Structure 1
Amino acid sequence: MPQQCIALVDDDRNILTTLSIFLQAEGFATRVYADGETALKALLENPPDLAIFDIKMPRMDGLELLQRLRDRSSLPVIFLTSKDEEPDEALGLALGADDYITKPFSQRLLVARIRAILRRTELVRAEPDEPVPEGLPEPIQRGRLTIDPARHSVTWDGKAVSLTVTEFLILESLAMRPGVVKSRNQLMDAAYSDDIFVDDRTIDSHIKRLRRKFRGVDSTFAAIDTLYGAGYSFTDG
């Protein structure tokens, strides 16, 4: 299996050096960037397997970097935050971050979170005609929607839709039981690990982005229904 690559974006050179050395010792390749502008260009041109952003950076902070990245990429992202940055944590998750870790943090915890997210993305990187490796789930077909968990791919009418890990898991949860209304809490449980706490607005933000992405390939897309006060459902049709 190819060595997985982690990109680190932080204006603190000490943190970049320390984390890079530690992650390399854990078997990862690393790339380091000291500012958001430089990182954005590099992450789009040569994406790693996962990126770790500090929030507070000059020129372009981690939130802006994530927002601009999400316009063009579903790259998994972990935020490093300080204890006094809780509103930023919530906003980061709403913008599409996959996880956050509060400083000071355990390097072992960080590695555990990285590996958990990489497992969630199921980075098989199989070719379309390759058989699904034994033990991985088969594709889910719901009308015009196809979800392939083994390849972390989604298509609508045969057209690819690029989703983040969190968006993918929310959509998968809805599509598993078409017509069944899933509450926001149920979708949170499907998309986040037990130690990440998000509010209703975060799930609503993900749903809005899901709809926007599907309407990018089909302007008539209306398969995700809202039942106000209850949650969301997927219409199989």
Structure 2
Amino acid sequence: MKLNDWILIVDDDTELTELLSGFLEKNGFQVKTEANGAKAVKAIVEGQPKLVILDVMLPDLDGLSICREARNNYEGPILMLTALEDDVDEVTGLEIGADDYLAKPVRSRVLLARVRALLRRYDLLAKYQDVPEDESDQYRIKVNGLTIDKVARSATLYDNTLDLTTSEFELLWILAENAGDVVTREAISESFKEMGYDSSTRTIDLRISHLRRKMGDDPKVPKLIKTVRGKGYQLAFH
């Protein structure tokens, strides 16, 4: 579904919303706001904004629930605003489909950088939808029972569909492109930074953990995604 050319901020903090809206508008973005959590899912799904900035703590319906419900019918980027150092919000948000997160208090310029990076990544992903069918094979990787298709945005393991978030899909693609080789955390971090994701080692390790769980890979003795101590990760070739 085509996204509309405006950003939606979902937050009940009027002062913060006005501050962020004004700053984004000064930098060339159209902005709409929604303070009511219960109305936010409808605003996202029916409005199809180009990006959603979503606070976790909201009246009526919390941001995590909004993200979970909206994700079924919204493919655009979602940037979560979380309480400082709230690991539960961060972990849950990434797992249910948020693309990135920022801890409050929010610095306007940091937010702007994240927004621009996420939109660049979305535009990059959108270009794959225009790939001619006779060229689509170059965007498909098959290795070790895994098939990952960048055009269809799908991944299967032994014919079982993997339900991946966008960031998990991108991470799996990076590993699949280098199957059998060690991909350093630094290399993954650099790729994630270019795509607008949080590129910290901690978040990368967290996403690896999610991938293993969804692929049925034993985290204690992984056979598919192996940890190479002190270096990075390796998708097994055989």
| 1:222 corresponds to | none
Cα 1:36/1:123, change in 2 over 3 Å: farther
**Shift, 1:96, TM fit:** 2.9
Per the alignment, do residues 124 and 175 of structure 1 end up closer, same or farther by CA in structure 2, a change over 3 Å counting? closer
| Secondary structure class of the residue paired with 2:150 | strand
Contact 1:5 1:28 in 2 (8 A): yes
Determine if the alignment matches structure 1 residue 203 to structure 2 residue 202. Answer: no
Q: Provide the C-alpha distance between the structure 1 equivalents of 2:64 and 2:4, rounded to a whole number of angstroms.
A: 28
- The alpha carbon displacement at 1:234 in A equals 6.8
Q: What's the counterpart of residue 167 of structure 1?
A: 168
Q: Residue 23 of structure 1 aligns with which residue?
A: 24
Q: Distance in 2 between matches of 1:124 and 1:141?
A: 14
d(CA) in 2 for partners of 1:111 and 1:61?
Answer: 24
**1:154-209 CA deviation, whole Å, 9 max, x = no partner?**
2569xx99964412321220221234465888756644444573274443224555
For structure 2, the residue ranges without an aligned partner over 5 or more in a row are 217-222
Partner amino acid, structure 2, of 1:142: I
The residue type equivalent to 1:147 in the other structure is K
Aligned to 1:95: 96
Paired residue type of 1:16: T
One-letter amino acid of the structure 1 residue matched with residue 203 of structure 2:
V
What secondary structure is seen at the aligned counterpart in 1 of 2:33? Answer: strand
Q: Does 1:176 align with 2:180?
A: no
Aligned equivalents of 1:97 and 1:19: distance in 2? 19
2:219 corresponds to: none
Name 1:60's counterpart in structure 2. Answer: 61
Match of 2:235 in 1: 233
Structure holding more helix per residue: 2
Structure 1 segments unaligned to the other structure (5+ residues) = 132-137, 213-224
CA contact (8 A) 2:224 2:235 kept: yes
TM-score with structure 1 setting the length: 0.69
Query: Once superposed, what is the RMSD of the aligned Cα atoms?
Result: 3.8
In structure 2, distance between residues paired with 1:90 and 1:161: 19
Percent of paired sites with the same residue: 31
Equivalent position SS for 2:31: strand
Change (3 A) 1:126 1:187: closer
C-alpha deviation, 1:12, in angstroms:
1.6
Supply the AA of the counterpart residue of 2:13: D
2:220 alignment counterpart: none
SS of structure 1 residue aligned to 2:53:
strand
Alignment of 1:113-132 (within 5 A): 113-123=114-124, 125-126=126-127, 128-129=129-130
Give the Å deviation of 1:126.
4.8
> Given the superposition, is the C-alpha separation of residues 45 and 163 from structure 1 closer, same or farther in structure 2, using an over 3 Å criterion?
farther
Q: Count how many residue pairs are aligned between Structure 1 and Structure 2.
A: 211
Q: 1:183 to 1:91 in 2, by over 3 A?
A: farther
Change in 2 beyond 3 A, CA 1:182/1:27:
same
Q: Which residue of 1 aligns with 2:149?
A: 146
Given the two structures, how large is their TM-score scaled by the length of structure 2? 0.68
